[in-house]
């Protein structure tokens, strides 16, 4: 198959670089356009970008000249890794011009006609694209990935909601420095420290799971009916968000039932064969001191969520710790996975 030409908006940033890395040698997609701010436009990618990843800049990207974030880029799919304040109107312009936009930014996540998507969780929500095109007159489309903490949380919640019914849950996050972009939080604020506030994050973690686990009803998604309380912290970890979760269910399960539901989860068949799908979307560890960012964030090439310490909760019903790679499953890897789903479903040819 001829690979589909794709572009990256915000290609020089933390998430943009992860896109460039993950798309190198992708079986379906080929990076043909890189775009960023005026600071970078006109420079070779290798010169414009302060490369942060341990693998070298892919040869195919190194000499591409960074372009402005305007339609006209030579590509059918556009991955957006722009700051949310910039992304909204730019993504709309690309969709109007016929591109399929797969966004990491928050700008359109909660729009009623924009799918907030995780292939193993809610692949049927792409049906909103029909309504989106009717309402907005677009030839292209916009789908979004959830906030990085939400994505891994929603993956773990999906089989539990299906099996036992979520009523309410509390989540305390310990989020990696790379989640703040580059240069992000100043070193002197984070080394030997923890910052118990991430602007806007708790609202996202409380709202986005309800849309992700909501039910498609005609041309809208009816939100799931559980309640989330989130407390979000920035910690001096490079990559990998850890979350402590306590849940009350409609039907209280035993810890062994929770583990079986998590381990047995594969997601719908249409998600299972995508290039980015890990064999096990959720990996359960039995050791008392796992998951840990350094040891577990690369599980399933960074696309698996790792859950450990599953045990009864004396306040609610069940508690556990989960971990996911924030720039892979929580950002670029998740968006590429969404684009693969769009191709598999025929939305992108």
34 belongs to the binding site for ligand NAP (CB under 6 A)? no
Shortest reach from residue 30's CB to ligand NAP, in Å: 20
CA–CA distance from 145 to each of 106, 170, 197, 243, 320 (Å)?
8, 22, 22, 19, 24
Shortest reach from residue 313's CB to ligand NAP, in Å: 28
Of the candidate residues 67, 277, 327, 338, the single one contacting ligand NAP (CB under 6 A)? 327
Q: Is 311 helix (H, G, I), strand (E, B) or coil?
A: strand
Of the candidate residues 212, 247, 331, 336, the single one contacting ligand NAP (CB under 6 A)? 331
Q: Is residue 265 classed exposed, middle or buried when 0-12, 13-18 and 19+ CB atoms within 10 A define those classes?
A: buried
**137 conformational bin, left if phi > 0, alpha if psi -120 to 50, beta if neither:** left
Reference 123, options 323, 324, 347, 283; nearest CA is 347
Stretch of residues binding ligand NAP (CB under 6 A), selected from 32-40, 91-99, 279-287, 295-303: 32-40
Stretch of residues binding ligand NAP (CB under 6 A), selected from 134-142, 166-174, 178-186, 286-294: 178-186
What residues numbered 74-113 form the site for ligand NAP, per CB under 6 A? 81-84, 86-87, 104-105
- The residue whose Cβ lies closest to ligand NAP is 13
Question: How many whole angstroms separate alpha carbon 345 and alpha carbon 349?
Answer: 9
What residues numbered 252-281 form the site for ligand NAP, per CB under 6 A? none
Cβ contact 334:74 at 8 Å: no
Of the candidate residues 131, 182, 244, 344, the single one contacting ligand NAP (CB under 6 A)? 182
Enumerate the β-bridge partners of residue 170. 229, 246
List active site positions: 148, 241
173 belongs to the binding site for ligand NAP (CB under 6 A)? no
144 belongs to the binding site for ligand NAP (CB under 6 A)? no
Chain position carrying tokens 């609202």: 203
What residues numbered 280-309 form the site for ligand NAP, per CB under 6 A? none
Stretch of residues binding ligand NAP (CB under 6 A), selected from 119-127, 166-174, 179-187, 204-212: 179-187
Identify which of residues 34 and 160 has a Cβ nearer to ligand NAP in the complex. 34
Residue 17 tokens, joined: 């670089």
CA–CA distance from 288 to each of 105, 284, 310 (Å)?
35, 11, 9
148 belongs to the binding site for ligand NAP (CB under 6 A)? yes
CA–CA distance from 207 to each of 3, 6, 37, 133, 229 (Å)?
36, 30, 30, 25, 10
User: Strand 318-324 relative to strand 166-175: parallel, antiparallel, unpaired?
Assistant: unpaired
318 belongs to the binding site for ligand NAP (CB under 6 A)? no
The site for ligand NAP (CB under 6 A) is made up of 10-16, 36-37, 39-40, 69, 81-84, 86-87, 104-105, 148, 178-179, 181-182, 326-327, 330-331
């Amino acid at each position: 198959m001829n690979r589909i030409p794709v572009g990256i908006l915000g290609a020089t940033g933390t998430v943009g670089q992860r896109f460039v890395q993950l798309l190198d040698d992708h079986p379906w997609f080929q990076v043909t356009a890189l775009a960023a701010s005026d600071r970078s436009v006109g420079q070779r990618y290798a010169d414009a970008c302060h490369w942060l990843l341990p693998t070298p800049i892919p040869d195919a990207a190194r000499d591409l000249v960074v372009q402005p974030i305007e339609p006209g880029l030579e590509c059918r799919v556009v991955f957006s890794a722009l700051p949310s304040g910039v992304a909204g109107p730019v993504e709309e312009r690309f969709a109007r011009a016929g591109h399929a936009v797969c966004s990491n930014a928050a700008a359109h996540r909660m729009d009623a006609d924009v799918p907030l998507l995780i292939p193993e969780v809610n692949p049927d929500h792409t049906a909103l694209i029909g309504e989106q095109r009717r309402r907005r007159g677009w030839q292209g489309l916009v789908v979004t990935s959830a906030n990085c903490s939400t994505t891994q949380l929603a993956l773990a919640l999906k089989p539990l909601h299906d099996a036992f019914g979520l009523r309410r849950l509390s989540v305390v996050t310990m989020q990696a420095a790379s989640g703040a972009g580059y240069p992000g939080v100043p070193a002197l604020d984070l080394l030997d420290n923890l910052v118990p506030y991430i602007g806007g994050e708790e609202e996202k973690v409380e709202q986005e799971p309800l849309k992700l686990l909501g039910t498609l009803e005609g041309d809208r998604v009816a939100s799931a009916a559980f309640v989330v309380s989130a407390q979000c912290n920035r910690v001096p970890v490079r990559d990998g968000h850890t979350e402590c979760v306590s849940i009350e269910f409609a039907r209280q399960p035993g810890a062994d039932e929770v583990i079986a539901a998590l381990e047995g989860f594969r997601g719908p068949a249409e998600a299972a064969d995508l290039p980015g799908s890990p064999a096990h979307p959720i990996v359960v560890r039995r050791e008392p001191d796992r998951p840990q960012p350094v040891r577990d964030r690369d599980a399933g090439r960074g696309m698996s969520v790792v859950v450990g310490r599953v045990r009864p909760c004396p306040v609610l019903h069940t508690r556990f710790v989960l971990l996911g790679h924030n720039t892979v499953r929580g950002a670029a890897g998740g968006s590429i996975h969404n684009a693969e789903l769009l191709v598999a479903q025929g939305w992108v040819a």
